[in-house]
Each structure stands twice: as C-alpha cells, then as structure tokens.
Amino acid sequence: MSDQTLNDLFLHQLKDTYFAENAILKAIPTLMDASTSDDLKLALGVHLDETSGQIKRLEEVFGIIGAKPEGVECKAILGIIAEGEEVIEEFAGSEALDAGIIAAAQAVEHYEITRYGTLYAWANQLGLDEAAELLKDTLIEEENTDQILSDLAESSVNEEADQD
C-alpha cells in the first residue's frame, strides 16, 4: 500500500486547481470577445476579475500548508476549454452562439464547483480552518457565477438563440 496521505491528496488537488484557474484566466477573454450580448460580456468580465482573486487565494492556501504555488496539468479543464473553443468556431455568426458560450462557461463553473467543494471538505477534515474559509469564499463565487449565467440564458439568451 502507498503511504500517501490525505495531506498529499489535498496538495495534489490544490495544484490541479491552480493549473485550472490559470488556464481559465487565459480562456475567459476568448469567450468575452466572441460574445455578442453585452450582458454576457459584462458577466464574464466580472468573473475574470474574480478569477484573478481566486488565484491569489489558492496561493494563500499553498502558503498556509508551507508549499510553493505550482500547477500540475489538469486534463479535464483543458478538455472543457477546448470544447468551448470548438463551439465558438462552429457557431461564429449564428444566433445560437451566445447560448453555446454560456453552456461552455457553465461547464467550467461546474468543474470548479466540484473541485472547490472537495478542497473545502478536505481542508476542514485536515483542520486547516483558514484555508477552508478561503476555499469556501471561492466556492461561493463559482456558484454565484453559475447562477448568473443560468439567469442570463433563461431570461434572454436562449430565446434569442431560438430564431429561425
């Protein structure tokens, strides 16, 4: 049996999430540029700023456990981002584009919600109270972003996409 512990698992997932957030920080401007709805551009812009803060929080968590901030490649987020880019290419100029962008962005948020939910639970289990608070703050931002995107889709974007 391996002698790896929950501490090791926590650090590994922290690195995975750090890599993912940095990839997301680079991907959001692509989604913003492609969006035709001003409300969608605005929502993505707000979350771009939040994402910078989330990266700083992760760096604080690395500090709390005495580790240096570094990423490990997260194949899942690269796949989710690549799918979003495919949608942008395939639906460029289409009424349905913004609906596709929202769906791609929500896939990112759901990925992050699962990661931060786990990191928060593990930080609590490990007695890392300060880290748990930081992770919870980010978890709430990801959940709020997901809700804002759902509201935007359901209040206008889906209907605009459905023009024929």
- Residue 16 binds Fe ion (CB under 5 A): no
Which has the closest alpha carbon to 113: 75, 157, 147, 143?
143
Q: Which of residues 45-74 bind Fe ion (CB under 5 A)?
A: 51, 54
Q: Which long-range contacts (CB under 8 A, 24 or more apart) does 90-96 make?
A: 92/34, 95/160, 95/161, 95/162, 95/163, 96/161, 96/162
Residues in contact with Fe ion, shown as a per-residue x/- string from 76 to 105 under the rule CB under 5 A: ------------------------------
Task: Pick from 112, 115, 123, 131 the residue near Fe ion by CB under 5 A.
Answer: 112
Instruction: Provide the token pair at 38.
Output: 């001003």
- Residue 17 binds Fe ion (CB under 5 A): no
Buried-exposed string 115-142: b where 16+ CB fall within 10 A, e elsewhere = bbebbbebbeebebeebbebbbebbebb
Task: Pick from 19, 77, 134, 142 the residue near Fe ion by CB under 5 A.
Answer: 142
In the complex with Fe ion, the residue whose CB is nearer, 108 or 157, is 108
In the complex with Fe ion, the residue whose CB is nearer, 75 or 164, is 75
The site for Fe ion, by CB under 5 A, has a size of: 5
Which residues of the chain form contacts with Fe ion (CB under 5 A)?
A: 51, 54, 109, 112, 142
